[in-house]
Amino acid sequence: MDLIASLQCADQPGIVHAMTSAVLACGGNIIENQQFTDEPTNTFVMRTRFETSQGLDAAQKSLHEGLSKFSPDLHIRPTDEKPRALVLVTKESHCLRDLLYLLELGELPIEIPLIVSNHEELRTLVESHGFTFKHLPINASTKAEQEKALLALIEEHSIDFVVLARYMQVLSNEFCAALPGRIINIHHSFLPGFKGAKPYHQAHARGVKIIGATAHFVTSDLDEGPIIEQDIAHVSHTSTPDDLIALGRDIERRVLAKAVRLYAQDRIFIVGQRTVVFS
């Protein structure tokens, strides 16, 4: 059985030795190992992929016993187990289209049981790809009720994480708190610059020479969550806001898809306001 172990704890001597010994104790063989120590927070993170003939239960027992003295946050799962994502969209389709395309190619190791939107525009696209679409309209007076329905769907469908594929609604503090480190958003600017609405218009007004997109975890602070992935493109004084928007769509879809893939492969660790991302 091929497994991935993700570990995070305070940095201290002996962690790597304990991990390798625990893997050996369950008849395992390490295929891949990446580790990093964040000195400002004294946080150690490690991702270990290994094979064992003794199965998941034996591996969990061995690793938890062998590493318990370090009080780690330790997660072990089969490599071929695909996390289940709830995708939220509004009207724009480019990020969603790319996720569906990569899924059809077998290049995105996730399952999408459900796609939810606060508008009906993308129903035909979603259902034409064979996915379930649910319309949950929202306004100021129904926001709490709509988010309660979303949380019920997350529980009903055993959702592991949420992807905001250009979902143009600000999530409440309560919703964010219910899913810490489990909501990924794509923001159409190179954060921390140009937060909030119409970032391409903000960028044009400032005469920037590069634009970008940022995938980040969602927190109660708007566009302030830990950054996962970013990319840019060069522009010039001749670029209009519409030019920036068109160019930005390509960056947004690529950045979001990469962030989702990294999350699905257990390659992202949140350390304070930052992330450690193993390539």
Q: Kindly list the catalytic residues.
A: 223
Distances (CA, A) of 166 to 21, 117, 136, 186: 45, 10, 16, 6
- Angstrom distance (rounded) from CA 178 to CA 78: 26
Q: Is 258 helix (H, G, I), strand (E, B) or coil?
A: helix
Distances (CA, A) of 109 to 2, 52, 80: 15, 22, 8
Per-residue burial over 9-48, b = 16 or more CB atoms within 10 Å of its CB, e = otherwise: bebeeebeebbbebbebbebeeeebebbebeeeebbbbbb
Q: Compute the C-alpha angle 6/50/226, nearest 5°.
A: 25
Residue written as token pair 């190992």? 33
